[in-house]
Structure 1
Protein backbone atom coordinates (compact mmCIF):
# COMPACT_ATOMS: atom_id res chain seq x y z
CA UNK A 1 0.00 0.00 0.00
CA UNK A 2 1.34 3.46 -0.90
CA UNK A 3 1.05 6.31 1.54
CA UNK A 4 2.26 9.91 1.59
CA UNK A 5 4.84 10.91 4.20
CA UNK A 6 4.73 14.63 4.99
CA UNK A 7 7.98 16.59 4.92
CA UNK A 8 6.18 19.83 5.77
CA UNK A 9 7.13 19.87 9.48
CA UNK A 10 10.79 19.28 8.72
CA UNK A 11 10.80 21.92 5.98
CA UNK A 12 9.11 24.48 8.24
CA UNK A 13 11.59 23.76 11.04
CA UNK A 14 14.55 24.42 8.74
CA UNK A 15 12.96 27.56 7.26
CA UNK A 16 12.79 31.10 8.62
CA UNK A 17 9.06 30.66 9.30
CA UNK A 18 7.29 29.38 12.39
CA UNK A 19 4.19 27.23 12.48
CA UNK A 20 2.43 30.16 14.14
CA UNK A 21 3.25 32.41 11.17
CA UNK A 22 1.88 29.79 8.78
CA UNK A 23 -1.22 29.42 10.92
CA UNK A 24 -1.95 33.12 10.43
CA UNK A 25 -0.96 33.14 6.75
CA UNK A 26 -3.42 30.35 5.91
CA UNK A 27 -6.00 31.26 8.57
CA UNK A 28 -5.85 27.76 10.05
CA UNK A 29 -5.84 26.41 13.60
CA UNK A 30 -2.64 25.21 15.24
CA UNK A 31 -4.13 21.71 15.08
CA UNK A 32 -4.58 21.93 11.31
CA UNK A 33 -0.97 23.03 10.77
CA UNK A 34 0.16 20.18 13.04
CA UNK A 35 -1.94 17.74 10.99
CA UNK A 36 -0.31 19.00 7.78
CA UNK A 37 3.09 18.35 9.38
CA UNK A 38 2.20 14.80 10.42
CA UNK A 39 0.24 13.89 7.30
CA UNK A 40 -3.10 13.47 9.08
CA UNK A 41 -4.61 16.07 6.74
CA UNK A 42 -3.44 17.95 3.67
CA UNK A 43 -3.40 21.54 2.45
CA UNK A 44 -5.53 22.43 -0.55
CA UNK A 45 -3.84 22.48 -3.95
CA UNK A 46 -3.55 26.28 -3.85
CA UNK A 47 -2.07 26.12 -0.34
CA UNK A 48 0.41 23.42 -1.43
CA UNK A 49 1.76 25.60 -4.23
CA UNK A 50 1.92 28.67 -2.00
CA UNK A 51 3.59 26.74 0.82
CA UNK A 52 6.18 25.24 -1.53
CA UNK A 53 7.01 28.68 -2.92
CA UNK A 54 7.22 30.15 0.58
CA UNK A 55 9.57 27.39 1.75
CA UNK A 56 11.66 27.56 -1.43
CA UNK A 57 10.95 23.99 -2.54
CA UNK A 58 8.94 22.17 -5.21
CA UNK A 59 5.48 20.84 -4.38
CA UNK A 60 6.95 17.33 -4.80
CA UNK A 61 9.32 18.05 -1.91
CA UNK A 62 6.46 18.55 0.56
CA UNK A 63 5.62 14.82 0.50
CA UNK A 64 7.25 11.56 -0.39
CA UNK A 65 5.58 8.31 -1.32
CA UNK A 66 6.11 5.51 1.14
CA UNK A 67 5.25 1.88 0.52
CA UNK A 68 3.87 0.09 3.55
CA UNK A 69 4.16 -3.66 3.88
CA UNK A 70 0.89 -5.50 4.43
CA UNK A 71 0.67 -8.92 5.99
Structure 2
Protein backbone atom coordinates (compact mmCIF):
# COMPACT_ATOMS: atom_id res chain seq x y z
CA UNK A 1 0.00 0.00 0.00
CA UNK A 2 3.03 2.28 -0.02
CA UNK A 3 2.20 3.42 -3.56
CA UNK A 4 -1.13 4.82 -2.33
CA UNK A 5 0.75 7.06 0.09
CA UNK A 6 3.04 8.38 -2.63
CA UNK A 7 0.08 9.13 -4.89
CA UNK A 8 -1.77 10.94 -2.10
CA UNK A 9 1.32 12.93 -1.18
CA UNK A 10 1.91 13.95 -4.80
CA UNK A 11 -1.50 15.55 -5.18
CA UNK A 12 -1.90 13.91 -8.59
CA UNK A 13 -5.22 12.40 -9.59
CA UNK A 14 -5.26 8.68 -10.40
CA UNK A 15 -6.98 9.43 -13.71
CA UNK A 16 -4.08 11.70 -14.69
CA UNK A 17 -1.54 9.00 -13.77
CA UNK A 18 -3.49 6.41 -15.77
CA UNK A 19 -3.57 8.67 -18.82
CA UNK A 20 0.09 9.64 -18.61
CA UNK A 21 1.26 6.05 -18.23
CA UNK A 22 -1.27 4.63 -20.70
CA UNK A 23 -2.65 2.15 -18.18
CA UNK A 24 -6.11 1.20 -17.00
CA UNK A 25 -7.50 2.16 -13.63
CA UNK A 26 -7.50 -1.54 -12.72
CA UNK A 27 -3.78 -1.77 -13.45
CA UNK A 28 -3.02 1.11 -11.12
CA UNK A 29 -5.35 -0.36 -8.50
CA UNK A 30 -3.48 -3.68 -8.68
CA UNK A 31 -0.16 -1.89 -8.27
CA UNK A 32 -1.50 0.03 -5.26
CA UNK A 33 -2.75 -3.19 -3.67
CA UNK A 34 0.58 -4.97 -4.41
CA UNK A 35 -1.25 -7.60 -6.47
CA UNK A 36 1.06 -6.82 -9.38
CA UNK A 37 4.00 -4.47 -9.84
CA UNK A 38 4.74 -1.98 -12.59
CA UNK A 39 7.17 -3.05 -15.28
CA UNK A 40 10.48 -1.19 -15.18
CA UNK A 41 9.60 1.33 -17.88
CA UNK A 42 6.36 2.30 -16.14
CA UNK A 43 8.03 2.31 -12.72
CA UNK A 44 10.63 4.81 -13.96
CA UNK A 45 7.90 7.09 -15.32
CA UNK A 46 5.78 6.73 -12.20
CA UNK A 47 8.67 7.47 -9.86
CA UNK A 48 9.44 10.63 -11.83
CA UNK A 49 5.79 11.72 -11.73
CA UNK A 50 5.59 11.16 -7.99
CA UNK A 51 9.05 12.65 -7.38
CA UNK A 52 10.27 9.58 -5.48
CA UNK A 53 13.11 7.14 -5.93
CA UNK A 54 12.07 4.10 -7.95
CA UNK A 55 12.89 1.75 -5.07
CA UNK A 56 10.37 3.68 -2.94
CA UNK A 57 7.57 2.31 -5.14
CA UNK A 58 8.14 -1.19 -3.84
CA UNK A 59 7.50 -2.41 -0.32
CA UNK A 60 10.32 -4.09 1.55
Q: Which has the higher contact order (CA 8 A, sep 6+)?
A: 1
Q: Partner residue of 2:28?
A: 33
Structure 1 stretches of at least 4 aligned residues deviating more than 6 Å after TM superposition: none
Higher relative helix content: 2
Structure 2 gap ranges (5+): none
Return the index of the structure with the highest Cα Rg.
1
Under a length normalisation based on structure 2, what TM-score does the superposition of the two structures give? 0.87
Under a length normalisation based on structure 1, what TM-score does the superposition of the two structures give? 0.75
Structure 1 gap ranges (5+): 1-5, 66-71
Higher relative strand content: 1
What is the aligned length? 60
Q: Secondary structure at the match of 2:28?
A: helix
Q: Partner residue of 1:58?
A: 53
